[in-house]
Amino acid sequence: MDERPEVIVVGAGSAGSVIARRLVDAGKRVLLLEAGGSDENPVIQDPARLGEIWHSSDDWDYFTVPQRHAADRRLHLPRGRVLGGSHSLNAMIYVRCAPQDYDHWESLGNTGWGWKDVLPVFKKIENYDGPPSDLRGTGGLLDVTVDYPLNPIQQSIIDAAVESGIPENPDYNGEELDGVARQQLTIRDGERLSTWRAYAAPILDSPLFTVVTGAWVHRLLLDGTRVIGVEYERAGEVIKIEADQVVLTAGAIDSPRVLLRSGIGPATELARLGIDVVADLPGVGENLHDHLLSPVIFSTDREIEPPIPGTGITQSHLFWRSAPELEVPDTQPIHFSVPMYEDWMEGPAWGFTLMGGIITPASRGRLTLAGPEPRAGVLIDLNALAEEADLLALEASVRQVRAIGTAPALAEGWGAREIYPGPEVDDDASLRDYVRRTVITYHHQVGTCKMGVDELAVVDPRLRVYGVTGLMVADASIMPRVTSGNTNAPTIMIGEKAAEFFLN
C-alpha cells in the first residue's frame, strides 16, 4: 500500500474478513494484517480433513495451563493462524444460537444487540439453501447449506435420538434450537467457505485493499491514549505503520494479548510485567469461558463409510435442556462418524462418537501474558469444570448420548457397543471421574474483551475500547456471555455490526 491506510484490521479471521470487506465496499482504504499465511493448503479446503491441520504451522497451537478440575490436564486450544483464522480449521457448523442470548447481552446495557437487532444481520449474512422462511436469508455472501448427502451412520444417529424421545428439528436456526438436526454448514461446491473466501478474497483486486500475510502484530502504537497504528513483525523485520483507526480482530486469545502488550489492561498486572500502563482496564483477559465436550465412543459390527467427498466427519448435533425449566438448551451433543480416541484410548479403526457437550457454562477463567516480550507466550486458564453446575450438565449430556447409543437404530442397526466410557463406568462417581479425565474444548473461547457498561467491560456497546481513542475490538472476545451454540455465526454477526458502527 503506497498511501497511508485509513484503517488497519488486525487478523483475517471470521470477523476480520467481514469488517475488511464492508469497509472497502464503503470506500475506506484498508490494510489487513494477518499473522498466518495463505489458505491454499488442500487440507483446509477439504471438509473431511478437519483436524489434520491441528499442531501444524497454520495452528496457533495454544494449550491451557493445567486444569485443576480436569485431572490437571493441559487442554489443547487449536486456533487458526492462516487467512480465514479459525474459520479455516473449524467444523463449519453454522448456528445463530438462541434469541435469548442476545436479549441477555442487551439487558446488560448493550443497546442495539437484542435479537430484534441481530436477526436482520444474520439474514443479511446468509445464503441459505434450506426451505424458504421469513427467518432466513438467501442473498448473503456466506453459503449455508443443508443440502448435502448424510453418511448413513449420521442418519442412524438422528433416528436413534428420535427413538430416545428427542424431536427432529428441520431448522435449528428457525423458530427454536431444541431437537436433533443435520448441521447447517458453510460449504460451497464441496469446499470450506470461510469468511476470508466469501467476503475478503473476492475484493483482492481493489486498489483500496491491501492484505499482508506473515504480519504478526506485536503491539499498538499510541500517542498518549490515542491509537495511531501498529507495530508488527514480518520475516524477522519489525515494522511500524500508522492509520486513522485500528480494528482488533485477532480472536479471544490474541486480541487481549495485543491489548496487554500495548499497556491496555489491569494496571497492577501490567506493572508486574514491566509494561507501561496506558489504560487501566481490569477486564482485559478476564471472563474467559468456553463450551466443553466429553466423548462417548462406540464400536460397530460393520464398517462405517469414510466421509462422502465434500462432506465432513460431523454432520448432526442436538440441542437439549438438562432441566425442563431452563430458558435455553444447556447441552449440545455433537456426533462424529469416526471414533475420536484420546491418546490413552485404543479400539477398532471404525466406530462413531457422540460427544456430550455443554453450552451455557458457569465457570470463568482468565488469561494473561507470561512475560512482556512478544514471544513470551500467554497463560490461558479456562478454569474448566470449576462450577458444579457445569459438571452436572456435562454428566447429564454424557448420560443422554450413552442412552442414544442403545436405541434400536444404532444398537440393532449397527451393533453399536459403547467402548468409552465403557460398562465399568456405572455409577455417578466413576462417570464424574471420566468426565474430568476426558473433558476437551468445544473450541468456543470468548469473553476476554467483553462488551458492556460495567467496570470489567473492555469495549462499549459500539465496540470502542474504553480509555483510548481510535481503537475497536470486534471478534469473539467481545461476547459478554457465550451464546448457546457454536460461536462462528455470532462472531460473523459481530463483524457485520462492527462495520456498521464504524461507518455510522
Ligand X SMILES: Cc1cc2nc3c(=O)[nH]c(=O)nc-3n(C[C@H](O)[C@H](O)[C@H](O)COP(=O)(O)OP(=O)(O)OC[C@H]3O[C@@H](n4cnc5c(N)ncnc54)[C@H](O)[C@@H]3O)c2cc1C
- Binding of ligand X at residue 262 (CB under 6 A)? no
**Residue 442 annotated as lining a ligand binding site:** yes
- Binding of ligand X at residue 14 (CB under 6 A)? yes
Q: Map residues 236-255 to x or -, x wherever contact with ligand X holds by CB under 6 A.
A: -------------xxxx-x-
- Helix (H/G/I), strand (E/B), else coil: 288: strand
CA–CA distance, 31 with 485 (Å, rounded to integer): 32
Can you name the residues that pair with 317 across neighbouring β-strands? 181, 334
Count, residues near ligand X per rule CB under 6 A: 42
Question: How is residue 291 written as a grid cell?
Answer: 463450551
Residue among 442, 476, 461 nearest 91 (CA):
442
- Binding of ligand X at residue 33 (CB under 6 A)? yes
In the complex with ligand X, the residue whose CB is nearer, 55 or 302, is: 55
In the complex with ligand X, the residue whose CB is nearer, 67 or 184, is: 184
**Residue 466 annotated as lining a ligand binding site:** no
List, in order, residues 6 or more apart from 437 with CB less than 8 Å away: 70, 71, 73
Residue among 272, 256, 354 nearest 314 (CA):
354
Question: How is residue 116 written as a grid cell?
Answer: 430484534
CA–CA distance, 355 with 383 (Å, rounded to integer): 20
- Binding of ligand X at residue 10 (CB under 6 A)? yes
Restricting to residues 164-223, which ones interact with ligand X according to CB under 6 A? Answer: 215-217
In the complex with ligand X, the residue whose CB is nearer, 64 or 491, is: 491
Instruction: Kindly tell me which residue out of 32, 354, 449, 489 binds ligand X, with binding defined by CB under 6 A.
Output: 489
Q: What's the min distance (Å) between Cβ of 434 and ligand X?
A: 23
How many other CB atoms are found less than 10 A from the CB of residue 225?
A: 15
List, in order, residues 6 or more apart from 60 with CB less than 8 Å away: 77, 78, 79, 80, 81, 253, 254
> At residue 355, what are phi and psi to the nearest 5 degrees?
-85, 120
- Binding of ligand X at residue 296 (CB under 6 A)? no
- Binding of ligand X at residue 92 (CB under 6 A)? yes
DSSP conformational letter for 118? H
Instruction: Kindly tell me which residue out of 291, 436, 444, 481 binds ligand X, with binding defined by CB under 6 A.
Output: 444
List, in order, residues 6 or more apart from 254 with CB less than 8 Å away: 11, 60, 79
On the CB side of 218, CA atoms within 13 Å amount to 17
Q: What's the min distance (Å) between Cβ of 7 and ligand X?
A: 15
Restricting to residues 366-385, which ones interact with ligand X according to CB under 6 A? Answer: none
Q: What's the min distance (Å) between Cβ of 57 and ligand X?
A: 11
Instruction: Kindly tell me which residue out of 7, 8, 31, 36 binds ligand X, with binding defined by CB under 6 A.
Output: 36
**Residue 227 annotated as lining a ligand binding site:** no
CA–CA distance, 80 with 503 (Å, rounded to integer): 28
Catalytic residue annotation? 444
In the complex with ligand X, the residue whose CB is nearer, 50 or 419, is: 50
- Counting beta carbons within 10 angstroms of the beta carbon of residue 500, is it exposed (0 to 12), middle (13 to 18) or buried (19 or more)? middle
In the complex with ligand X, the residue whose CB is nearer, 397 or 487, is: 487
Instruction: Kindly tell me which residue out of 172, 279, 487, 498 binds ligand X, with binding defined by CB under 6 A.
Output: 487
- Binding of ligand X at residue 86 (CB under 6 A)? yes
Q: What's the min distance (Å) between Cβ of 327 and ligand X?
A: 21
Mark the binding-site residues for substrate, compressed into ranges: 442
Binding site for ligand X (CB under 6 A): 10-16, 33-36, 78-81, 85-87, 89-93, 95, 215-217, 249-252, 254, 258, 443-444, 475-476, 486-489, 491
